[in-house]
Structure 1
Amino acid sequence: MAEFLFEIGLEEVPARMLPGAEAELTKRVSDLLTRERLVEEGFSVESYSTPRRLAVWVKGVIAQQADAEEELVGPPVKAAYKDGQPTKAAEAFAEKAGIPVDQLRTITNAKGEYLAATAKRAGKSFSEVVLAELPKEIAAMYWAKNMRWRPFLPERFVRPIKWILALLDGAVLPVEWAGITASNVTYGHRVLFGYEPITIAAPAEYADKLYQAKVMVNVEHRRERIRKDLDKATRTVEGARWREDRPLVDKVTHLTEWPTVLLGKFEDEFLALPEEVLVTVMRDHQNYFALENGEHMLQPYFLAVLNTEPVGEGVEIIRHGNERVLRARFNDARFFYEFDQRISLQERVELLKNVTFQKELGSYYAKMERTNALVVTLGQFVRERANAQRGQGLSVKLDALTTAATLAKADLTTELVKEFTELQGIVGGLYARAQGVDEAAAIAIYEQYQPAGMEDAVPSTVEGQLLSIADKADTIAGMFGLGMQPTGSKDPFGLRRAANGIVKILAESDLPLTLGEIAGAATNNDTLCANVKSFLSERLEWYLRDIRGGAYDVVKAVMITEPDDVRDAMKRVDAVSAARTGADFAAIAAAFKRMKNLVEQAKAKGEVFTPGSKHEFLTEPVERALAEEAGRRAAWVEGLRKDGDYTLALATIAELRPFVDAFFDKVMVMAPEPQLRAARLGLLLRILMDYSKVADFSEIVIAG
């Protein structure tokens, strides 16, 4: 079984770009070899990455393509021959097929008579295909930012390429790109091993040889070592544990080739600063892990993940260096924190007039005014509707809500946020509490940017939830009003993330708000409102499918009913997903698909009928039984739907099966008599309208 190893050596790649790049290179190599019929059935692929390399190891490759035959269709016969003689079109087609003109044959298809030929393609060697095609795959790789490093030459990549390694078993494949020709040589850790070349004789020895050169190419192995070393270093501090931080573990994993962990300490006096400030400085600016005790109280220690292996005096030198840098950062943070206290948040609101939100939407002061009006509208709506809907007992502190909306962006003028932008909102909440602002307002300010992603928690209070929704909805409405909607993969203003946050808050809170009500409150005209609501609905569909795992057809069936209530849509998706496994439901879904097709085809032919029209012309017992039973159950289903009992509603609908089956077995819907035909189509239309409010069952995919 042949093996192929491919490695691109680079200058250090940013950590955030490595996971996607490793996955993309792996997919491109795998797809290329599969497409070119150069892999055996059951082949396997392993991928590796470090800051200085991307590599793919494919086991089960084929050294030579099998010969293949390809059916080709050429020009029309009338263009291929003139006066019985082949034209240039026929000759060109024969040359393309690799056969004489007299071996071309004629076929007849829907468009007429055409020339055809069976072309035999000799299989190419693995080397021939890879040398020709792999450079194209490298050039096509996507990078959020790339660069040129050879003057006047076209190739771009995230960082300059320093070497390429390509091996088929033990043979070098001289793949060439960006002026580099592949060899069987790679390089180890820049500091711990130096620049001595490492010769790889076979793909299987790649990882082991690099390990000897102080490079752990397997990402999961590096991650595991980091976690174990973090645990080991933490055990030297009695009663401490390192604060779990998966994103930071991932980041330092992709920052290192040979990770080691170092414990450092800082002065107790810095613990007087808010914990959020200390952790942000350690985490976001230094990539340090914080330590805490059993009560989750921060301890005066940190853990640094190094990309080296210090020994002897070098350990203390590096430790003191890291402690000195952190001490300076903490001193800066303390100075900014104390300096900011000289001006209250309320006084800072006026300063927002000098901070631009978006040039056509004005300053953050203008945004504050819009958000304030929006939270009042939403807050009053929640207060009025809470007791009448599922949010019974939900209360809104409108005074605290308006205070929070007024002060929410004031921290953008603080020195601490200017220095540590990751703390915006958090600093506002901390300062609000320190300055005696209402606690509910302080919490809302602190949590206003939540959720930042699907893994993030939603704000913990009603006021925080409303402030977060209002802030996000105002941004979406403003950008849509300027025609700056997201297009394709481009979303420079993070509008999808903002809409995802709104959907998540509605899904995980008790707020009695709908997407349409939010869109209506945030916009000033019907067209803009419709566009914003449609955008929010798209994000709801994505949430139901990609986050909650709803099947594509079930989510589509629910979304066709234009759901406005997020939690109601979730309940319907769950109910339909559970019910679809039943035999009766499967049959009724298939029947609904048939009903919908009949109705749509009749409308396309110009048939005139209305829901339940000409009921008196229904004379067959099975159709009258269906009409009566469907009408009787429609009221039950509507009541259950309003109560949110979709499980029982779907069971009630499924019980229509024997009546529907009998109808289609005994009755021809498209009867020759116009009035009878209209009556039967009207019956089907009435059933579709009455029973498709839970979901459009015709969209459910039924096996067979």
Structure 2
Amino acid sequence: MPAFLLEIGLEEIPARMIAPAQAELARRVEDLLTRERLIDASEGLELHSYSTPRRLAVLVKHVHESQADTEEQLTGPSWAVAFKDGQPTPAAQAFAKKAGVDIAALMKTVTPKGEYVSATVHRKGRTASEILAEQLPKEIASIYWPKNMYWRAGKPERFVRPLKWLVAILGHQIVPVEFAGVTASNVSRGHRILHEGSITFEHAGDYLGQLEAAYVTADVELRRHRIRKALDAATRLIPGARWREDEPLVDTVTHLTEWPTVLLGSFDASYLTLPEEVLVTVMRDHQKYFAIEDAAGKLAPYFLTVLNTQPEEHGDEIIRHGNERVLRARFNDARFFWDVDQKTPLTARLEMLKTVTFQKDLGSYYAKTEANIAVAERLAGIAQQRGAAVDAAALITATRLAKTDLTAELVKEFTELQGIVGGLYARAQGLGESVAQAIYWQYSPAGVDDPIAPTAEGQLLGLADRFQTIQAMFSIGLEPSGSKDPFGLRRAANGIVKILAESGLPLKLSDLLAGTDEAVKAKLAAFFRERVEFYLREVKGFAYDVVNAVLAAGCDDVRDAIARAEALTAVRGSADFIAISAAFKRIKNILRQAEEKKITASTLAATLFADDSERTLHAHITEVDPQVVALSESRNYREALERIATLRPDVDLFFDKVMVMVEDEAVRGNRLALLAQIQGSFSSIADFSEIVTA
């Protein structure tokens, strides 16, 4: 069976959009071939996807040249409706036309529902070329891009960048796919600079080799590997040095290049007097350069740049000097802005915030700062009352000055340094290390993989700033909806949950929500519950049923919810706990059905126990309940759950011996009360009925 190759040639695609599109194109091609019976999964799928800034490609081996013929049995109207007195009715004629057979070919089929008309339909398989030419344009057009563009006046197609060429080959044959006015051929293009002319593929399997000869490495992982090896090799030119590991930057330059090479450059060591954060940001975010550090981890006056070309002899010196010149200009700008900013201390910049808009309906950053201070003071007070060591004065100073670097020239030029610059300026201006650290770390964590601020003051500032933003936006109806979250409120809430989970602050979600308008508070509580669920499932990796069970018992204390989830995960596989979980499902269902029928539980009375199994179960509950309470108070949830699991024999015996919903109203009410006691006593850890047991 032949291989099938599809390549979409484009103008340069933004690096961040390439990997998702590559994966989606591969999925769409696989789904199409599977749906149309052109590949056989039982034979083992060999599908590979490739990409560079100028192309997306999929290569699939062992594709059928045509579909297999099929035979299908179609059932139509009832025989009585289709034939009257042995003659076909319009219903029979319509069915025969639909099935593509003569009236004489219709048959009678007896089913449990009666006699029906049927027909055997033979369908000849279509060729792969015909199917692919018809279906691939739809699949290509359906690829999701964060941003699309039109490039042909009056034409409907939109794509990330203008289409330049298409390659579609099945074995040796060209598949006549047409999209956006371009008809597929077997002709592609090599590297824009290093290769002149076109590339003609005689066979789909020639793809990688011929591109490599044209200075294009289409295999993304091979390109990534070559970049890392080249970075290592270039760094070895400096004794004792190493390039600073930066996987996101490696990923970016991988998707920016087709034929990557690495060049070592240097800069004047005098620039090292600038803060390292500034230098690395300029190199990384603005120039896509890798920083180099010495054996002690200190920044060295060198950088590495990944080129998308093969320098000619002596040409690398010209390229190196060009990159060094650009970097020198950027560093000079940074040093100039740093020096200018120092002439106006942060304390003098507070008034400037009155002219910086936070949000049009919520006022300036000065107003937000005042609101942040109120929240920070309240949270610090609660934390101190519960024994946390907090430098309240440093926290308030940091909160007051946290946004002042928005007026600094360095931040206007390098917006990625917001907060970091403020912290560096606070340290340089002698405002104290606690203040500097809090300002520096106020935006951490920016994502779920980032660390939280290392100090209590930084953590409290981060909580206050994020919560005030969320609360304010909700109060004017700007909460997230669906996939829309223009103000990043979910990200801010994720940061709050992460700080509460991973810091030592003795704070709960309800501490943040205290004092909020009741209508807004209900929305915020639901919103934060979603974010705790996200944290437990996506960040901590707990199973969905464990998360559901834990959240059903509450998530106000995030660290406590994590401890309960860890304990539940540890014991859920034991036979006793599985049985107890199943019993809790039964208890929950019985109590729910009783409530629906308006049958209420009475006050539990031992004198109404009619069977020894009731007495035994009640005695065991009475013994275990205080033990579970004590263990839960010390967050020894695993042992608490193991104690609960010891109820299994008595619960099993109870359900074997006793019917809860008996006619005797007093006995029935008492048994419902016993079940309610079990549910109420032990569901504070988790709702065990949520655990999947089969």
- Give the TM-score, by structure 1 length: 0.93
- 1:186 aligns to what SS in structure 2? strand
Q: CA deviation at 1:115?
A: 8.4
Conserved 8 A contact 1:515-1:537: no
Alignment partner, residue 162 of structure 2: 160
Out of 403, 409, 413, the residue aligned to residue 409 of structure 1 is: 403
Q: CA deviation at 1:434?
A: 0.9
Measure, in 1, the Cα distance between the counterparts of 2:679 and 2:87: 62
Conserved 8 A contact 1:614-1:678: no
Conserved 8 A contact 1:612-1:683: no
Q: Deviations over 1:47-84 (max 9, x none)?
A: 11110011112223333334456677878999999999
Alignment partner, residue 479 of structure 1: 473
- 1:302 aligns to what SS in structure 2? strand
Q: Quick one: structure 1 residues 93 and 535, their matched pair in 2 at CA, closer, same or farther if it must change by over 3 Å?
A: farther
User: Letter of the aligned partner of 2:686 in structure 1?
Assistant: A
After TM superposition, the structure 1 = structure 2 runs for residues 49-198 of structure 1, keeping only pairs within 5 Å, are: 49-68=51-70, 92=94, 95-98=97-100, 103=107, 121-194=123-196, 196-198=197-199
Measure, in 2, the Cα distance between the counterparts of 1:119 and 1:677: 63
Q: CA deviation at 1:550?
A: 0.7
Conserved 8 A contact 1:515-1:564: yes
Q: CA deviation at 1:396?
A: 0.4
Q: Deviations over 1:87-119 (max 9, x none)?
A: 87776555444456764768678xx99988776
User: Letter of the aligned partner of 1:642 in structure 2?
Assistant: E
Q: CA deviation at 1:401?
A: 0.4
Conserved 8 A contact 1:105-1:117: no
User: Letter of the aligned partner of 2:397 in structure 1?
Assistant: T
Conserved 8 A contact 2:208-2:218: yes
Q: Quick one: structure 1 residues 97 and 635, their matched pair in 2 at CA, closer, same or farther if it must change by over 3 Å?
A: farther
User: Letter of the aligned partner of 2:440 in structure 1?
Assistant: Y
Measure, in 2, the Cα distance between the counterparts of 1:86 and 1:357: 77
Q: Deviations over 1:588-645 (max 9, x none)?
A: 11111122222223333x1412276465433011122112212331222122122211
Out of 564, 574, 577, the residue aligned to residue 582 of structure 1 is: 574
Alignment partner, residue 541 of structure 1: 533
Measure, in 1, the Cα distance between the counterparts of 2:174 and 2:436: 64
Q: Quick one: structure 1 residues 157 and 656, their matched pair in 2 at CA, closer, same or farther if it must change by over 3 Å?
A: same
User: Letter of the aligned partner of 2:680 in structure 1?
Assistant: M
After TM superposition, the structure 1 = structure 2 runs for residues 607-618 of structure 1, keeping only pairs within 5 Å, are: 607-610=598-601, 613=604, 616-618=607-609
Q: Quick one: structure 1 residues 183 and 553, their matched pair in 2 at CA, closer, same or farther if it must change by over 3 Å?
A: same
Measure, in 2, the Cα distance between the counterparts of 1:563 and 1:306: 50
- 2:60 aligns to what SS in structure 1? strand
Q: CA deviation at 1:208?
A: 1.2
Measure, in 1, the Cα distance between the counterparts of 2:195 and 2:530: 52
- 1:474 aligns to what SS in structure 2? helix
Conserved 8 A contact 1:36-1:65: yes
Conserved 8 A contact 1:107-1:116: no
Out of 440, 451, 457, the residue aligned to residue 445 of structure 2 is: 451
Out of 624, 630, 633, the residue aligned to residue 642 of structure 1 is: 633
Q: CA deviation at 1:120?
A: 5.7
Q: Deviations over 1:405-429 (max 9, x none)?
A: 1100000011111110001001101
Q: Quick one: structure 1 residues 5 and 525, their matched pair in 2 at CA, closer, same or farther if it must change by over 3 Å?
A: same
Matched, 1:491 2:485: yes
Of 36-45 and 325-334, the range deviating more from structure 2:
36-45
Alignment partner, residue 683 of structure 2: 692
Q: Deviations over 1:235-291 (max 9, x none)?
A: 111222111111111111110000001111111221111111111111100001111
Q: CA deviation at 1:213?
A: 0.6
Could you tell me which runs of 5 or more consecutive residues in structure 1 were left unpaired when the two chains were aligned. Answer: 388-393
Q: Quick one: structure 1 residues 177 and 381, their matched pair in 2 at CA, closer, same or farther if it must change by over 3 Å?
A: same
Out of 550, 553, 562, the residue aligned to residue 558 of structure 1 is: 550
User: Letter of the aligned partner of 1:191 in structure 2?
Assistant: I
Q: Quick one: structure 1 residues 89 and 11, their matched pair in 2 at CA, closer, same or farther if it must change by over 3 Å?
A: farther
Out of 492, 503, 506, the residue aligned to residue 512 of structure 1 is: 506
Alignment partner, residue 268 of structure 2: 267
Measure, in 1, the Cα distance between the counterparts of 2:133 and 2:243: 49
Matched, 1:603 2:580: no
Q: Quick one: structure 1 residues 525 and 95, their matched pair in 2 at CA, closer, same or farther if it must change by over 3 Å?
A: farther
Alignment partner, residue 282 of structure 1: 283
Measure, in 1, the Cα distance between the counterparts of 2:81 and 2:668: 50
After TM superposition, the structure 1 = structure 2 runs for residues 657-676 of structure 1, keeping only pairs within 5 Å, are: 657-676=648-667
Of 580-589 and 96-105, the range deviating more from structure 2:
96-105
User: Letter of the aligned partner of 1:458 in structure 2?
Assistant: I
- 2:224 aligns to what SS in structure 1? helix
Q: Deviations over 1:178-207 (max 9, x none)?
A: 11111112111000113x111122232211
Measure, in 2, the Cα distance between the counterparts of 1:640 and 1:96: 71
- 1:289 aligns to what SS in structure 2? strand
- 1:694 aligns to what SS in structure 2? coil
User: Letter of the aligned partner of 1:375 in structure 2?
Assistant: A
Q: Quick one: structure 1 residues 122 and 535, their matched pair in 2 at CA, closer, same or farther if it must change by over 3 Å?
A: farther
Of 129-138 and 71-80, the range deviating more from structure 2:
71-80
Superposition CA RMSD, Å: 2.5
Measure, in 2, the Cα distance between the counterparts of 1:120 and 1:663: 62
Matched, 1:435 2:429: yes
Conserved 8 A contact 1:43-1:61: no
Q: CA deviation at 1:124?
A: 3.1
Measure, in 2, the Cα distance between the counterparts of 1:277 and 1:342: 18
Conserved 8 A contact 2:109-2:115: no
Q: Quick one: structure 1 residues 517 and 83, their matched pair in 2 at CA, closer, same or farther if it must change by over 3 Å?
A: farther
Q: Quick one: structure 1 residues 182 and 324, their matched pair in 2 at CA, closer, same or farther if it must change by over 3 Å?
A: same
Out of 573, 596, 620, the residue aligned to residue 611 of structure 2 is: 620
- 1:61 aligns to what SS in structure 2? coil
Measure, in 2, the Cα distance between the counterparts of 1:575 and 1:132: 55
Alignment partner, residue 345 of structure 2: 344
User: Letter of the aligned partner of 1:306 in structure 2?
Assistant: L
Conserved 8 A contact 2:398-2:439: yes
Of 365-374 and 167-176, the range deviating more from structure 2:
167-176
- 1:39 aligns to what SS in structure 2? coil
Conserved 8 A contact 2:554-2:561: no
Q: Quick one: structure 1 residues 75 and 468, their matched pair in 2 at CA, closer, same or farther if it must change by over 3 Å?
A: farther
Alignment partner, residue 33 of structure 1: 33
User: Letter of the aligned partner of 2:594 in structure 1?
Assistant: A
Q: Deviations over 1:450-478 (max 9, x none)?
A: 01112211101000001111111111112
Conserved 8 A contact 1:146-1:159: yes
Q: CA deviation at 1:296?
A: 1.5
